[in-house]
Chain A
Amino acid sequence: MNSAPETKGSARQLEAWLLSNTPTSRRHARLGSLYKGWLKLKSNKLAMLGLFILIALVVIAILAPIISPADPFEQNLGNRLKPLGTEGHFLGTDSLGRDLLSRLIYGSQITLYIVALVALIAPVAGLFVGTMAGYLGGWADVVLMRVTDIFLAFPRLVLALAFVAALGAGIENAVIAISLTAWPPYARIARAETLTIRNSDYISAVKLQGAGGLRIIVKHIWPLCISSLIVRVTLDMAGIILAAAGLGFLGLGAQPPSPEWGAMVSEGRKFILDHWWVATVPGLAIFTVSLGFNLLGDGLRDVLDPKDSGDE
């Protein structure tokens, strides 16, 4: 079996190796198809902008203690509600005189935390329920999908509110509440995909090898559902950030003095007429990150669409 070309070999050689239509090992085949996907994504300028925004978010969140100019919790009542561009406070200060830029930078950590947790819980739960319902059919399908319908019937924020009210306010509970309300659409997508995959010849073919139901679901159906779920998740991320922000805004998510963006908007609301930037700056941050996820999601849809897996 061939090994990867030497790292010092020219980039052109590496590219030819990756784009080869005759891969020589498992790793080669996998890397090759990843690279082709990347090239496709790279040709989409807007998706790259989205990816750039998200990478920037991750970098900022990691480097928060180093790059933030001030302590996000340090109050200075003598220096409150300073406008944009004030000496030492590039984005101004809020009603308690805290540096908005620093709060925004630290807030990115919370946003990332919420997004990551929801993105782990909701689609996985939805994938599980949806593929089971779709593959097993019959009673299992009826029961699982009716449960899904019940969750779908509630307006998301109202249901989340009810959960938070029951579990108590706080970021973790907000995440759980949002995940609980976010999984039903994924279950629906996964079920619809499963129904079309279930009767295909390649599933019949593994059945004829004596494969069991669980194996077929996990190894053969999941890989085909996952791509459409990933796309849907990235498109939903904007909504999830907004829901988290909404809960924060209503005082049911992150608690003060935590610099969560939604809570910051909520605080700034009181001064919006005279000191517009206090609410607008975190609002713009929410908008930018949501946009990033949306753009990337659109790009990923083109790359991951299983319907044109024959990409050449």
Chain B
Amino acid sequence: MSKDTDLLEVDDLWVKFPTRTETFEAVRGISFRLGRERLGIVGESGSGKSMTGRAILRLIRKPGIVTANRISLHGQDLMKLTEKQMRNVRGKQISMVMQDPKFSLNPVMTIGDQIVEAYRLHARATRSEAHAKALEMLEAVSIRDPERVFRAYPHEMSGGMGQRIMIAMMLIPDPEILIADEPTSALDVSVQTQVLSIMDRLVQERGMGLIFISHDLNLVSAFCDRVLIMYAGRIVETCRADRLHEAKHPYTRGLLNSLPRLEEPRERLDVLKRDPAWREAASVVDDQ
């Protein structure tokens, strides 16, 4: 079934957390594939969208359990790799950008040192080569004065700068796939656009695949090529991102209608009525 253009293929992925009384299923058997494209995953909190991103990198901590028929990256099944081999995949082939740069950067190391270290973990390079590469990457994420930022500490950076630095760091080893988990939710609207366009340019230039996880329907619709809409651990709908506003599933429609809109004032907002059947319906198979 797998097409040549596929970078990643996920087949029947489950993430479960056993608790004292029952097993909580965060992701319930989803399948999708990713080419050299921007794939958006949207849903509300608790829909399993972040867990999906983490599960691909096998970053789910105990007692969480990840099962899947297959998570294949170029035909290599990530589920069968040892933890040591997996460490090689993380960063080198698949990178991840998290929501808040504050928690992802080490506060007591300069930004330059952190980038150099990240680079040298994956490539055999001298310090000066790594230094040059780090500056080049900082420039690539539109940082005006890379030398100064190289010597700065994370707390001296604004949120937008921090997130750009994270993107620079994640892209240094030339991964094939970037997973971005709400990369701009902590940022102001005007900075958001800037960070996203930088990320987009880099992803396009390198022909990478991007998984963009977000709760923001408008953002995903404008930024991505394709969208998976998740509800209660399952994919309820997939569609082209620019057609998101024509989505059919009542859940997606409900989410879209519950947003207040400046241009169409309403006395009351539509409230999403959750149908228990959505939870039970089988996951949509993504075969586009």
Contact = CB atoms under 8 A, between A and B. Distances in A.
Asked if the two chains touch in their complex, CB atoms less than 8 Å apart, one says yes
Interface of A: 19, 39, 312
Interface of B: 19-21
Contacts of B21: 19
The A interface is mostly helix, strand or loop, or mixed, namely helix
Contacts of B20: 39
A3 B21 CA distance: 24
Contacts of A19: 21
A181 B121 CA distance: 50
A312 B21 CA distance: 10
B23 to A, nearest CB: 13
Nearest to B19: A312
Nearest to A40: B20
A133 to B, nearest CB: 28
B26 to A, nearest CB: 14
B121 to A, nearest CB: 31
A86 B20 CA distance: 50
Contacts of A312: 19
A39 B21 CA distance: 12
B20 to A, nearest CB: 7
A312 B24 CA distance: 10
A19 B20 CA distance: 11
A19 B21 CA distance: 10
3 contacts: A19-B21, A39-B20, A312-B19
A39 B20 CA distance: 9
A20 to B, nearest CB: 11
A241 to B, nearest CB: 35
A33 to B, nearest CB: 15
Nearest to B24: A312
A131 B244 CA distance: 54
Contacts of A39: 20
Nearest to A312: B19
B64 to A, nearest CB: 15
A19 B22 CA distance: 13
Contacts of B19: 312
A39 to B, nearest CB: 7
Nearest to A16: B21
The 3 closest A-B pairs by CB, nearest first: A312-B19, A39-B20, A19-B21
A272 B19 CA distance: 53
A238 B19 CA distance: 34
A39 B19 CA distance: 12
Nearest to B20: A39
B54 to A, nearest CB: 20
B35 to A, nearest CB: 39
Nearest to A36: B20
A192 B19 CA distance: 33
A139 to B, nearest CB: 31
A74 B20 CA distance: 54
A197 to B, nearest CB: 22
A310 to B, nearest CB: 12
B175 to A, nearest CB: 34
A200 B90 CA distance: 37
A312 B23 CA distance: 12
Nearest to B21: A19
B25 to A, nearest CB: 15
A44 to B, nearest CB: 13
A11 B20 CA distance: 17
A14 to B, nearest CB: 15
A62 B287 CA distance: 73
Nearest to A15: B21
A144 B285 CA distance: 66
